[in-house]
Chain A
Amino acid sequence: MSLKIHNRTSGEVHIMDLGGKITIGEGSVQLREAVRQMLEAGNNKILLNLGDVSYVDSSGIGELVSSYTTVNKQGGQLKLLNLTKKIQDLLMITKLLTVFETFDSEETALNSYK
């Protein structure tokens, strides 16, 4: 498994702690499936904690975008927590930091859903 996902909740917000690689094939597919299951369970306030993600390629960035639009279409919110510098660089140069709400503090992130 290239991506490890641990789910926890805080109030109405479902936090997904991600660790490992979000790359083409396994990692991207795992993330897609995890978000799909979350939505199927009726949980549409999602916070992706990327702090332990060691590697992301363009497919992984695409999966974050895809997850964002899927959650939005269902009336939910998907936000990002603890971006590594390299993920931040990849999002910045493709102007995706203007799309995603991103946070360095979990508390601030959780409060933003209220």
Chain B
Amino acid sequence: METAENVIELVIDSNYRFIELVAAVTDNLTQIVGFSQEEAHWVGLAVRESVINAIKHGNQHDIMKKVDVRFAIFDEQIDVSIRDRGHGFDANDLPDPLDPQNLLNPNGRGIFYMRTFMDEVNFTMHPQGGTVVRMLKRKSALSNNSETGSDDAN
């Protein structure tokens, strides 16, 4: 059973200028939980991709629509929820970026990367509207064995 939950919530306008703010908070929290630099990088990428999707596809760049980002940190994991104010979509009906006919498509890799780098990714509709993406990442043996984060930082 996980204990010692801390919750951090951000509400941003639908503007890419705030992505670095979310990224900075994510980096700080993955450091607090004690992820390795490698895992922290990929958690950061997954959060970044989800916020971009919320701004671009969910809120369609409408600056009047907010994006909620909620982090819950535990001893061994981070749980991130991103809510947009869009009309929703079927996450199981997306083109496969690995399909040879899609390889040269410049778009369509964000959710694939989120699913690759996080342990769980779920899409639900919020009762008051919009899509909620919940992503969870547990610390692996790699993190537990490299508290100093000495792995490649590229």
Q: Please list the residues of chain A having a beta carbon within 8 angstroms of any beta carbon in chain B.
A: 23-25, 54, 57-59, 61-63, 65-66, 68-69, 84-87, 90, 93-96, 98-99
Determine the chain A residues whose CB is within 8 A of the CB of B126 once the complex forms.
none
Given contacts A24-B16, A90-B113, contact A57 B45 (CB under 8 A): yes
- Closest beta carbon of chain B to A2's beta carbon, Å: 9
A95–B103 touching, CB < 8 Å? yes
Query: Which of B56, B97, B104, B116 is within 8 Å of A69, CB to CB?
Result: B104
Determine the chain A residues whose CB is within 8 A of the CB of B112 once the complex forms.
58, 94
B109–A94 touching, CB < 8 Å? yes
Q: How far is the CA of A23 from the CA of B19 in the complex (A)?
A: 10
**Which A-B residue pairs are the 4 nearest by beta carbons?**
A62-B106, A84-B154, A66-B106, A58-B109
Q: How far is the CA of A3 from the CA of B45 in the complex (A)?
A: 18
Q: What are 22 inter-chain pairs, A to B, with CB distance below 8 A?
A: A24-B19, A24-B52, A24-B56, A57-B45, A57-B48, A57-B52, A58-B49, A58-B52, A62-B106, A62-B109, A65-B104, A66-B106, A68-B104, A85-B152, A86-B152, A90-B113, A94-B97, A94-B98, A94-B109, A94-B113, A96-B103, A98-B103
The residue in chain A whose Cβ has the minimal distance to the Cβ of B48 is A57
The residue in chain B whose Cβ has the minimal distance to the Cβ of A87 is B154
Determine the chain B residues whose CB is within 8 A of the CB of A95 once the complex forms.
98, 103
Query: Which of A58, A66, A86, A98 is within 8 Å of B154, CB to CB?
Result: A86
Interface string of B100-116 (1 = CB under 8 A from A): 00011111011011001
- Closest beta carbon of chain A to B123's beta carbon, Å: 17
A99–B103 touching, CB < 8 Å? yes
Number of B positions contacting A (CB below 8 A): 22
- Closest beta carbon of chain B to A92's beta carbon, Å: 11
Determine the chain B residues whose CB is within 8 A of the CB of A99 once the complex forms.
103-104
Q: How far is the CA of A57 from the CA of B26 in the complex (A)?
A: 15
Q: How far is the CA of A29 from the CA of B46 in the complex (A)?
A: 21
Determine the chain A residues whose CB is within 8 A of the CB of B103 once the complex forms.
65, 94-96, 98-99
The residue in chain A whose Cβ has the minimal distance to the Cβ of B49 is A58
Q: How far is the CA of A87 from the CA of B113 in the complex (A)?
A: 12
Interface residue? B138 (CB, 8 A): no
The residue in chain B whose Cβ has the minimal distance to the Cβ of A70 is B106
Interface residue? B41 (CB, 8 A): yes
Q: How far is the CA of A81 from the CA of B93 in the complex (A)?
A: 35
Determine the chain A residues whose CB is within 8 A of the CB of B52 once the complex forms.
24, 57-59
